[in-house]
Structure 1
Amino acid sequence: MSVGPVTRDDVVRAAETIRGRVRRTPLLDGSDIAPRLSLKAELFQHGGSFKARGVTNRLAAMTAGERERGVAGASAGNHAIALAWGAAGEGLDSLVFSWSGASTFKLDRASALGARIDMEADDPSDAFARLEEHLERSGATLVHPFDDPLVMAGQGTVGLEILEDAPGVDVVVVPVGGGGLIGGIAAAVAPRGVRVVGVEPEGSAALLRGLEAGEPVPVAPETIASGLDAPFAGTRALQVCAAAGVEVVTVTDAQIAEAMRRLYAEAKLACEPAAAAGVAAVLAGAVEGDSIVAVVSGGNVGPEIASDILAGR
């Protein structure tokens, strides 16, 4: 099966590149939450999310000249943390463009790791525009949060680990923002006959709209799941997901909050709202299978937001 611009071979190569640099995260029993459910605990990754995988693979491909000019990206938080962590480990200058309303908890973590943060943008689209202007002026290397083949391949290593730990898996359920994670996972597991289901908040359905249109469609995200608020789904992710037959379902913010509470209470996973989206779809009956793995994609959430959701406020 061909899955477009990122192939299974790309993901296998990425796994070799990042081996020993990122954590191999555990696959946990989730049957207390739903029958036949397992949980891929990416919240235990360096930086608290799967993003470290893609960043590590992208930085490994940089030339000496690129390293001198530093790296830059745009992010609401998780990619910022991963880029700051990866750049610090490589001794690189890093600049992240974010926007008003983004998670101060996540951006403070990125800043503490050494990234410079630009908060002048009003929204995600403006942040990406400011990023493009900076790249043209500075010659810095773009480390895109999702629409980059090396980033996607690195993120797809989550899928390889799932296949190793759950060889009987028939469905992998993935929270979706810009589509880099689900694109990489689809490239890794779809050629092995595994269904991939993407889950988006109703208020931020960029992948669903993009697949319907056959091209990226700008959206104005409105959701409690700040990690899933990309302003569009990446072109490469759309190509991979279309070729792999990825299915997409949406869930409400209330369903995400309930899934987050269930993960905290029953699996003892202190995840962020975005990471609970896959489990939300399973609990809602939107995903069925004989062996389901839901990716719990990250654990970076401010204490005020977490306490409000866990308390049902």
Structure 2
Amino acid sequence: MNASPAAADLAEPLAITPDDVEAAAARIAGQIVRTPTLESRTLGELTGAKVYLKFENLQFTAAYKERGALNRLLALTPEERKRGVIAMSAGNHAQGLAYHARRLGIPATIVMPRFTPMVKVQQTEGHDAEVVLHGEKLEESSAHAHMIAERRGLVFVHPFDDPLVMAGQGTVALEMFQDAPDIDTLVVPVGGGGLISGCSVIASKVAPKCDIVGVQAELYPSMKATLMGEPVVADGDTLAEGIAVKFPGQNTVPVVRKLVSDVLLVGERDLERAVSMLLAIEKTVVEGAGAAGLAALLAHPRRFRGRTVGLVMTGGNIDTRLLANVLLRDLARNGRLARLRIRLKDRHGQLYGVARIFDQQQVNILEVSHHRIFTNLPAKGLMTEIECETRGGDHLDRLIEALRGAGYEVTKVELG
């Protein structure tokens, strides 16, 4: 780790032990999907590493969160089961807890922020959970959930800062090392730290030489900042909403400080590219947080070159419209899709001449729009924007060259 931990921190006993993770594995066996760990030769060739993928997006609720939630539920006393559980979550923890609570006949209440997409609310209600919409932010929802828990005598199940939840999440790594014992570097997305805590603890026993690396979105570097003793500045709209946590857990930070070698940051472009690559190469849908491990390999290639890397694809719950935007933006960055702004003279035949060049270069025109009024050109000026489809960056460059060679002023509309 980049920060030097205090001796007192290292001496302090951790919230969980390898035995807790192994006990969780025995407890939840047969009640969750034992997802496959498979090598991706194509990603290995692209990154210069041997790459194994853990397909946690194949869980029933499409996320690893089921493991920790189930482990916590199975540890409830009969009296606690009768009273029921409550959680604060806007995503995967809500669905995992609600699903297994229904299976076990345990009443579940989930508090979600008012901005939570309706599809997630409906999916959670579909597991017979009572959904309470409260607050604009997760912090407000959490406070409200604690208030309800105290008033109604419910057991609060934290999404990451609970030893039983942490131990349950660690079963991900236990399975990975059983299926691919040659993994020497484990890359884990980090939000509050529950998953990487469980994974690093079990690794300390079954793969003690394995390098454990965390990954956070640049917009939410809460764990990294906390470890470095820096102010936590975490805000903004990130594709990796599943790890968009402003404050890591009190139980998880000491584990990460002791057992994790580094926490890397990845930008939004790397996250988008990783989501697109996993769909194109592995034919699997992964949400932004779930693609963070691959994003780290893309953003920090030297860190992993020549290593045998295990990536945890934590979940696949991504809105279909958002996924479509990500895929189209990736095509645009690769030159497969482009929008060209072309200045024309306001006379007949101009657009026909442009279209001929597109035809000659075998470029497909998708959309055309003219701008005569809302432009800074002279009154007789005309600007047209053409959205087109090419075979890639080189093909697009040849088109632009041909247009400029014919006397047209061309600029490419770039993505932000």
TM-score under structure 1 length normalisation: 0.95
User: Does residue 52 of the first structure (1) align with residue 70 of the second (2)?
Assistant: no
Q: 1:86 aligns with which of 82, 100, 103?
A: 100
Instruction: Name the residue aligned to 2:91.
Output: 77
Q: Which runs of 5+ in 2 are unaligned?
A: 1-9, 331-416
Q: Distance in 2 between matches of 1:7 and 1:180?
A: 13
Instruction: Name the residue aligned to 1:189.
Output: 203
Instruction: Name the residue aligned to 1:155.
Output: 169
Identical columns (%) = 36
Is the CA contact (8 Å cut-off) linking 1:124 and 1:230 kept in structure 2?
Answer: no
Q: 1:261 aligns with which of 269, 276, 296?
A: 276
Q: 1:110 aligns with which of 124, 130, 135?
A: 124
User: Does residue 312 of the first structure (1) align with residue 322 of the second (2)?
Assistant: no
Q: Cα distance, 1:208 vs. partner?
A: 0.9
Is the CA contact (8 Å cut-off) linking 2:33 and 2:60 kept in structure 1?
Answer: yes
Q: For each residue in 1:131-179, what CA deviation from the matched residue of structure 2 results, as whole angstroms up to 9, or x when unmatched?
A: 1111111110111100000000000000101111111111111111111
Instruction: Name the residue aligned to 1:299.
Output: 316
2:289 is aligned with what amino acid? Answer: A
1:106 and 1:30, CA in 2 relative to 1: closer, same or farther beyond 3 A?
farther
2:245 is aligned with what amino acid? Answer: A
Instruction: Name the residue aligned to 1:180.
Output: 194
Q: For each residue in 1:275-308, what CA deviation from the matched residue of structure 2 results, as whole angstroms up to 9, or x when unmatched?
A: 0011000112254152001100001111111111
Q: 2:289 aligns with which of 262, 267, 274?
A: 274
Q: Secondary structure at the match of 1:57?
A: helix
Is the CA contact (8 Å cut-off) linking 2:220 and 2:233 kept in structure 1?
Answer: no
Q: Secondary structure at the match of 2:164?
A: helix
Q: Distance in 2 between matches of 1:221 and 1:152?
A: 27
The worse-fitting range, judged by mean Cα deviation, of 222-231 and 38-47 is 222-231
2:299 is aligned with what amino acid? Answer: A
Q: Cα distance, 1:245 vs. partner?
A: 3.2
Q: Distance in 2 between matches of 1:117 and 1:17?
A: 28
Instruction: Name the residue aligned to 2:267.
Output: 252
Instruction: Name the residue aligned to 2:24.
Output: 14
2:80 is aligned with what amino acid? Answer: E
User: Does residue 66 of the first structure (1) align with residue 80 of the second (2)?
Assistant: yes
Q: For each residue in 1:166-221, what CA deviation from the matched residue of structure 2 results, as whole angstroms up to 9, or x when unmatched?
A: 1111111111111111111011113422111111101111211222239x958435
Q: Distance in 1 between matches of 2:217 and 2:237?
A: 8
Is the CA contact (8 Å cut-off) linking 2:187 and 2:309 kept in structure 1?
Answer: yes
2:102 is aligned with what amino acid? Answer: A
User: Does residue 199 of the first structure (1) align with residue 215 of the second (2)?
Assistant: yes
Q: Cα distance, 1:57 vs. partner?
A: 0.5
Q: Secondary structure at the match of 2:161?
A: coil
Q: For each residue in 1:3-22, what CA deviation from the matched residue of structure 2 results, as whole angstroms up to 9, or x when unmatched?
A: 71111111011111011111
Q: Distance in 1 between matches of 2:200 and 2:276?
A: 28
2:123 is aligned with what amino acid? Answer: R
1:268 is aligned with what amino acid? Answer: K
The worse-fitting range, judged by mean Cα deviation, of 263-272 and 217-226 is 217-226
CA RMSD after TM alignment: 1.9
Correspondences of 1:91-170 after superposition (within 5 Å): 91-170=105-184
Q: Which runs of 5+ in 1 are unaligned?
A: none
Number of aligned residues? 312
Q: Distance in 2 between matches of 1:227 and 1:108?
A: 18
1:198 is aligned with what amino acid? Answer: G
Q: Secondary structure at the match of 2:87?
A: strand
Instruction: Name the residue aligned to 1:27.
Output: 37
1:263 and 1:200, CA in 2 relative to 1: closer, same or farther beyond 3 A?
same
Q: Distance in 2 between matches of 1:131 and 1:267?
A: 39
Q: Secondary structure at the match of 1:200?
A: strand
Q: Distance in 2 between matches of 1:229 and 1:274?
A: 9
The worse-fitting range, judged by mean Cα deviation, of 106-115 and 56-65 is 106-115
Instruction: Name the residue aligned to 2:50.
Output: 36
Q: Cα distance, 1:30 vs. partner?
A: 2.0
Instruction: Name the residue aligned to 2:244.
Output: 229
Is the CA contact (8 Å cut-off) linking 2:90 and 2:116 kept in structure 1?
Answer: yes
2:115 is aligned with what amino acid? Answer: G
Q: Distance in 1 between matches of 2:117 and 2:16?
A: 30
Q: Cα distance, 1:85 vs. partner?
A: 0.4
| Structure having greater relative contact order (Cα 8 Å, sep ≥ 6) | 1
1:98 and 1:60, CA in 2 relative to 1: closer, same or farther beyond 3 A?
same
TM-score under structure 2 length normalisation: 0.72
1:291 and 1:61, CA in 2 relative to 1: closer, same or farther beyond 3 A?
same
Is the CA contact (8 Å cut-off) linking 2:111 and 2:133 kept in structure 1?
Answer: yes
Q: Secondary structure at the match of 1:193?
A: coil
Q: Distance in 1 between matches of 2:59 and 2:251?
A: 24
